[in-house]
Each structure stands twice: as structure tokens, then as C-alpha cells.
Structure 1
Amino acid sequence: MEISENSRIWIYQANRVLNPVEQEQIQRRLNDFTSQWQAHGHQLTALAEIRYHRFIILMVDEARAGATGCSIDKSVNLMKELEDEFNINLFDRLNIAYRTSEDVTSCTREEFEALIETGKVTEDTIVFNNLVPTIKEL
């Protein structure tokens, strides 16, 4: 299925790296969810993927049918279920993810500020913005 680059997205960042088995199980749950995700009885054109072993991204092509409050609530409930099932935190907005030379890692805001002060994080460091609204802004 193709989805527009203008599709709306929601990014959920895990507080730790997901191992391959967890990623496979979570992706299966995401696929089941998006294949049946509806808004007011209309099937949503939706996909989901996991990036960098840490980010769960839900995508909805709203040109075809838009997500509504109730449909968004259903996706949030799924994320809460995944949190419980896999012992992860997907809703800590103060957990900052950034790219190191080897990997993507995360830390608290306070830890991140300390990394800036010590020069371990610089203006060249890629920091992930989990609030981007569309695919093209990823």
C-alpha cells in the first residue's frame, strides 16, 4: 500500500531499544491494528512501522479518510497495551533521542543538558523531533 508523504503521523518513542523479537511482535500487532483501524465506520488508509529499534510510527493518509478523536483514542489505547505487554514507556515526552556515531540513544532532559555542557552533544548532533505532523517532515 502506498501512502502520501502528506499523511498524518504519530511518533511514539520507546524508552529503550526494542529487541528483534519484540519488534516482530509489535509490528504484527501494528499491522493487525492498522488493517482494521476505522473512523466513524470508514476504513483508514493507515500503516505503521518501527524505526531505529525505538520509534513506533503510525501513519494515516487523511486525503482518503481522516482520523477522528475516537479513532485516535483507539491508537493511544493500543500504545498503552504495548507498554504493558513489553514493559516499555511510550509516553515520556521528556525522554530525548539523539544519534551517536554508532546508534540512536536516549536520555532525560537533564542528562541531555549535561551532555551539551561537556561537549558530547554538539550543534551537529541529530536530535529526533517526535512532534513532526507528516511523513515528509520525518
Structure 2
Amino acid sequence: MEFSSHSRVWVYQSDRKLTDAETLQIQVLLDNFTTGWAAHNNQLKAKAEIKYNRFLILFVDESQAGASGCSIDKSVNFMKQLEQQFGINLFDRFNLAYRSGEEILSVPRNQFEELLKQGKITSDTIVFNNLAQTLADLQTKWEVPFKDSWHKQLFGDLVVA
């Protein structure tokens, strides 16, 4: 199924890496959800992916039917059910993800600040912009160096030169 670059996306970051078994289970649940996801009785052209065993991403191509407030609420409630079922947190916006070598780590904001001060996160460290709103954003602005992210605006003065 092809999706327009203007398709809406919602990125949910788990507070921990999911096991391979959890990822498979969650993907089945996501597929079932997106297959039946509708707005005002119109089936949404939707899909979901799990990236790096950590990020749950919903996609809706609104060229056929747009996501409504009620349909978005349904997706949020579904994500909250996943949180309960798998013992994860998908709504902690102060849990920040970054690459450390080949590994993706996430830490609370205060720990992220400490890692910056210690030089363990640098201006070139890849961070994840979970605020991406479209597929185009996801493809070009999701995994970016710290220096090119919104993180710089908030934490830029903590970067060790």
C-alpha cells in the first residue's frame, strides 16, 4: 500500500526497547487496529509500523478520508491499552531517544541534560524528532543530528564545545 508524502503520522516512543516477541505481538494488534480504523464511518487508509523495537508509528493517508477528532481519540485509547498490556509508557514526552553507536537509547530529560554536559551526547549525536507530522517529515526530519533538531533550542547551551 503506497502512502502519500503528505500522509499524517503519529510517533509513539516506548520508554524501553521492546523484545522481539513483544514487537511481533504489538504489530499484530496494530495491524488489527488500523484495518478497522474509521472516521465518521469511512475506512481510513492506515497502517502501522514498529521501528527499532521502540517506536510505534501510525500512518493515515488522508487523500481518501481524513482522521477526525474521534478517530484520533480511538488511536490514543488504543495506545493506552497497549501501554497497560505490555507495561510500557508511550506518552512520556520527556523521555528522549538518541543513538549511541548502533544502539538506540532513551533517557529522562534530566539524564539527557547530564549526558550533554558530560559530552556523551554531542551536536552530532542522532536524536529522534517524534514531533514529525507527515510521512515526509518522518523520512527527512525524524532521525537528525542534535544540532539540526528542536532539541538544540531547548538544550543547546548544555553542549560541550
TM-score, shorter chain, exceeding 0.5 = yes
Q: Does 1:62 align with 2:62?
A: yes
Q: Which position in structure 2 is the counterpart of 1:71?
A: 71
Q: Which position in structure 2 is the counterpart of 1:99?
A: 99
Give structure 1 regions of 4+ aligned residues with deviation exceeding 4 angstroms.
none
Q: Which position in structure 2 is the counterpart of 1:19?
A: 19
> Post-superposition shift, 1:136?
1.0
Q: Does 1:117 align with 2:108?
A: no
> What is the CA–CA distance in structure 1 between the aligned matches of 2:137 and 2:99, rounded to whole Å?
17
SS of the aligned residue for 2:96 comes to strand
> Post-superposition shift, 1:137?
1.0
> How much identity, in percent, do the aligned residues show?
58
Q: Which position in structure 1 is the counterpart of 2:88?
A: 88
SS of the aligned residue for 1:127 comes to strand
Higher RCO by CA contacts (8 Å cutoff, separation 6 or greater): 1
The aligned amino acid for 1:16 is R
> What is the CA–CA distance in structure 2 between the aligned matches of 1:79 and 1:34, rounded to whole Å?
12
Q: Give the paired residue count.
A: 138
SS of the aligned residue for 2:33 comes to helix
> Post-superposition shift, 1:82?
0.3
Q: Which position in structure 2 is the counterpart of 1:9?
A: 9
Q: Does 1:31 align with 2:26?
A: no
> What is the CA–CA distance in structure 1 between the aligned matches of 2:37 and 2:2, rounded to whole Å?
16
- The answer to which structure has the higher helix fraction is 2
> Post-superposition shift, 1:102?
2.2
> What is the CA–CA distance in structure 2 between the aligned matches of 1:125 and 1:61, rounded to whole Å?
31
> Post-superposition shift, 1:106?
0.4
TM-score (norm 1): 0.98
> Post-superposition shift, 1:94?
0.3
Q: Which position in structure 2 is the counterpart of 1:127?
A: 127
TM-score (norm 2): 0.84
> Post-superposition shift, 1:45?
0.2
> What CA deviation, in whole Å up to 9, does each residue of 1:11-42 have, x standing for no partner?
00000000011000000000001011000000
Q: Which runs of 5+ in 2 are unaligned?
A: 139-161
Q: Which runs of 5+ in 1 are unaligned?
A: none
